[in-house]
Structure 1
């Protein structure tokens, strides 16, 4: 992990900074709560972790979020797929995020609706949206959704890297041929509550099942275009062709193996048939062996990431593309090293000819539209 390199200070970068002064920027997915939970010294203690200092070994902290001009951030209560007590772990992560809000009220505002992003922008703060990443946190109890909503959760990713009792993962063997009957009830309850359905991590069949059932727009909070990189976590064209009809948003992500086909191919020997790391594998040892045979890991880059944004904008329209970094304290692409880089991303797109209107949609306008639409359907 390295700090972001100084940006190119040209006219495009100056224009990007000016745009982000007036237009809200929202990142759809960041795993900072799990990073704090795993930190050797902090072990989940927000105060010990100290978000006010730059963590050179990571990618997310208050100084770099502010440098990145964020107005809204979706933080994930990630639940490991095989955790024996998923609901308890989700609640612990929600408590951690609530502690961030309490300790840093001068920086973060609770994100409960689209209007909170607008208010945060005006105040010079960041709207912190709490999400659950992995529907196993429900423990197969539909009413748990109501409790999570009341705690402030406004989005749930239906599964993670493993299939579970009611939802098939993109990176695991199917167990339900998509969504089970209970899974479809989950979608309907989320619609009624005003909670965003997130289709990152789910199988293409689940994507289609959800689009058949939902009455509200949906997110892919951190997924790219399968046609440019064939990782199973990316969105195939037949699904992309339904996004505009749903009025949803695909938030392109910074994960190198989801951006670069070369990086994806390099990693294949360390992955199982479904594209995930097998249980018990020593990942560092496996990567060292790959490097010995195939040479250094190919790097993903900011321009390659923008290729995904260009493709998505052409395929589904500028009204349906957003940003979902998936920062989680690991290896990031060149040019997308940490949360300070969003102006450089916007500058690269300015150099590619994106209009101001389309950049404002990408930065946060499309996300705000979906949030408002989901809220409007709340019963």
Structure 2
């Protein structure tokens, strides 16, 4: 990891800063809680990790979130696919996020609704919206959703890189031809509670099944356009064509292999047929071997990321596009190195001719609309 280079200080960048001063910026996905849990010294201790300092080895901390002008951050309680005791692990991650809220109440406030995002913006704070990444956290108990909601969880990603008892993953062999009957009940219960359904990581069939069942808009919290980069985690056109009808939002992500076809192709020798790294693989060794045979890893760039935003806006409309960085302390695109770079993203789109209205929708307006619609559909 490297700290972002200073942005280009031109009229577009000045305009981007001014826009983000007045319009709320929402990032749909960040794995900082898991980064803190895995940190060699902190090992899940928020105080020991010290969010108040810049972590040059990572991409997210309070100084850089503040510089990035975030009004709301969806933080994930990520549950690894083969985690033993997944519910307990999810609860530990939720406890970690609640500790962030307690220790840094001057910076964060609980994000339980769209109104909380606007309140955070007005206060100069950041709404911390808790999510669960991987429906294995339910332990196949539907009522667990109610408990998670009461703890403050407002979004759940249905699966991760493995298919599980009720949901097929985009990066694993299908087990149910989409969602099982229980999986469809999960969607209905999330709708009733007012919890956002997140279709990042799921197979295209699950995307279609969910769109058939849901009574509220859905999101893809960190996925890009499959037509521009054929990673299985990206959204195919036949699904994109249903997004506007649902009222949902595709929150384009910064993951290089989801942005750049060259990066995706470079990594293929280290991936299985489903596009994920086989269990037990020494990733560093595998990538070193690829480098010896194919040369250095191709970089993804801010410009390529904006190509995805352009494509999505043209295909599904400016009302249905958002931002979902998926920062998790790994390699990021040039120009999007860390959480301070959101203004540079807005500036690049200004240079491309995006209107202020459409930029405000992208930054957070569309996500706020979905949150309000999900809240209104509950009951």
Q: TM-score range by the shorter chain?
A: over 0.9
Distance in 2, Cα, partners of 1:8 & 1:204: 39
Matches within 5 A, 1:156-167: 156-167=156-167
Distance in 1, Cα, partners of 2:67 & 2:117: 17
Distance in 2, Cα, partners of 1:263 & 1:176: 31
Distance in 1, Cα, partners of 2:362 & 2:254: 15
Matches within 5 A, 1:295-374: 295-374=295-374
In the other structure, the counterpart of 1:98 is 98
Do structure 1's residue 114 and structure 2's residue 91 form an aligned pair? no
Distance in 2, Cα, partners of 1:6 & 1:325: 19
Q: Which runs of 5+ in 2 are unaligned?
A: none
Do structure 1's residue 213 and structure 2's residue 213 form an aligned pair? yes
Distance in 2, Cα, partners of 1:263 & 1:378: 41
In the other structure, the counterpart of 1:125 is 125
Distance in 2, Cα, partners of 1:276 & 1:5: 30
Do structure 1's residue 256 and structure 2's residue 256 form an aligned pair? yes
Matches within 5 A, 1:189-208: 189-208=189-208
In the other structure, the counterpart of 2:7 is 7
3-state SS in 2 of match to 1:154: strand
Matches within 5 A, 1:42-81: 42-81=42-81
Matches within 5 A, 1:14-33: 14-33=14-33
Distance in 1, Cα, partners of 2:378 & 2:238: 29
What CA deviation, in whole Å up to 9, does each residue of 1:235-284 have, x standing for no partner?
Answer: 00000000000000000000000000000000000000000000000000
3-state SS in 2 of match to 1:296: coil
3-state SS in 2 of match to 1:268: helix
Distance in 1, Cα, partners of 2:224 & 2:5: 24
Distance in 1, Cα, partners of 2:239 & 2:115: 30
Displacement, 1:377?
A: 1.0
TM-score (norm 2): 1.00
Distance in 2, Cα, partners of 1:285 & 1:222: 27
TM-score (norm 1): 1.00
Distance in 2, Cα, partners of 1:172 & 1:32: 25
Distance in 2, Cα, partners of 1:230 & 1:294: 20
Structure 1 stretches of 4+ moved >3 Å: none
Q: Which runs of 5+ in 1 are unaligned?
A: none
The total of aligned residue pairs comes to: 379
In the other structure, the counterpart of 2:148 is 148
